[in-house]
Amino acid sequence: MKQILNQLIQLQELNFALSEQKTSNPEARLTQLEESINKLVEKLPEDIASRYQRMQQRAPLVVVPIAHINNTCAGCGIAVPVALVNEIRKSEQILSCQNCGRFLYYLENTPRRVPKAPGARVEPPPGIARFSDMALMLPKLAADNRDDAVKELAMLMTTQGFVEEGDKLGDLALRRESVISTAVEGGIAFPHVRNIEGGSLTFALGLKESGLKFGAPDGELTKIVFFIVIPTPASAFYLRLLAGLVGTFRTAKARNALLKCGTPEKMWQTLTSLTSGTIS
C-alpha cells in the first residue's frame, strides 16, 4: 500500500508541476509531463485513480499529510481520530479524511516553520512583505551550481529563523527539481518545497550575476532564484504568487534593475517597488 500512496503523492506533484508550468510559461509544450501523468494514473488501482481524478477536478490538493502538532487533516483542518492516525502510520491501507475525503498520509519528519515570537505582529503586512523579508535577500550567491544555490537559500531561511532544518529543506527542493526544472525563460527559477507545517508562504531570493545551469528549457542560465516554502493550506495560493512574480519580471528592464542591486536593502527596496502593482 505504501507504493500506491507514493504514486498518489507523485501524481499530485506532477499535477502541481503542470499547473506551475502553465502559469509560468503558458506557451510551453507539456506533452512529456502530461504523458508521465497518464502513465502514473494507469498504474493505480482503478477505483483509487477515479477517486483521485474526481477530487482533483474540484480542488488541486487531494493527497495531504496529517499535521503533527494536533493530528489534523492538512487539507480541511479537522482533527483526525487517533485510531485512524495510527492506521495511517502503519500505512497498510489507503485511508481518507472522514470530513473532506482527501487521501491522508503521515510524514515522519516535516520541516516546520518557526513559530513567531509572542507579541509579534498578527496582521499580515501588505504586498510583498507578506511573503518575504529583507533578511531573506541574498545579492551574491556564493554557490556556482544549482544544487549548492538551492541549499544556500534553504540554509538562509533557517539561519534567519524562518524555517527549521534547512538541510532537509534543500534536499526536498532538489527532489522536486528533479521532477521537472522550475527554471523559466528570462533567467529565473522557482525551486520550492511543499507541505511545510505551519506558518505562511515564504520565499528567499538569491542573485547570481554570472548565471547558473538550472535546466531552463532553452539552456539559458539562471540569474534570479526564488526559493519558496509552501505550507499545505497555501498550495493553491502559491500559483498566484508565482504568476505575480513571473509577471513582474517578464521584462528585461525589471530583471536588470534587480540584478544591479548590491545589498539586501537595495534588493528589498527594488523588489517592493517592482511588485507594488503585481502582488497584493
By beta-carbon proximity to Zn ion, the closer residue of 95 and 179 is 95
Phi-psi region of 68 (alpha: psi -120 to 50; beta: other; left: phi over 0): alpha
Least CB distance from residue 59 to Zn ion, whole Å? 11
Q: Which is nearer to Zn ion, 73 or 258 (CB)?
A: 73
Three-state secondary-structure class, residue 258:
helix
Radius of gyration of the chain (CA): 19
- Shortest Cβ 230–Zn ion spacing (Å): 18
Contact partners, residue 219, CB within 8 Å, separation at least 6: none
CB of 100 to Zn ion, least distance (A): 3
CB of 194 to Zn ion, least distance (A): 17
In 3D space, the residue among 212, 207, 182 whose CA is nearest the CA of residue 194 turns out to be 182
Please, what is the end-to-end C-alpha distance for the chain in angstroms?
Answer: 43
The span from the CA of 38 to the CA of 53, in Å, is: 11
Q: Is the CB of 75 or the CB of 244 nearer to Zn ion?
A: 75
Residues that bind Zn ion (CB under 5 A): 73, 75-76, 97, 99-100
C-beta of 93: minimal distance to Zn ion in Å?
A: 17
The number of helices, as runs of H, and strands, as runs of E, in the chain is 9, 9
Residue indicated by cell numbers 501588505: 126
Least Å distance, CB 75 to Zn ion, is 4
Instruction: Using alpha carbons, select from 213, 225, 219 the residue that is nearest to residue 152.
Output: 225
In this complex, which beta carbon is closest to Zn ion, that of residue 91 or of residue 99?
A: 99
User: Which residue, chain included where needed, has cell 491522508?
Assistant: 104
* Nearer Cβ to Zn ion (75/166): 75
Between 99 and 270, CB nearer to Zn ion: 99
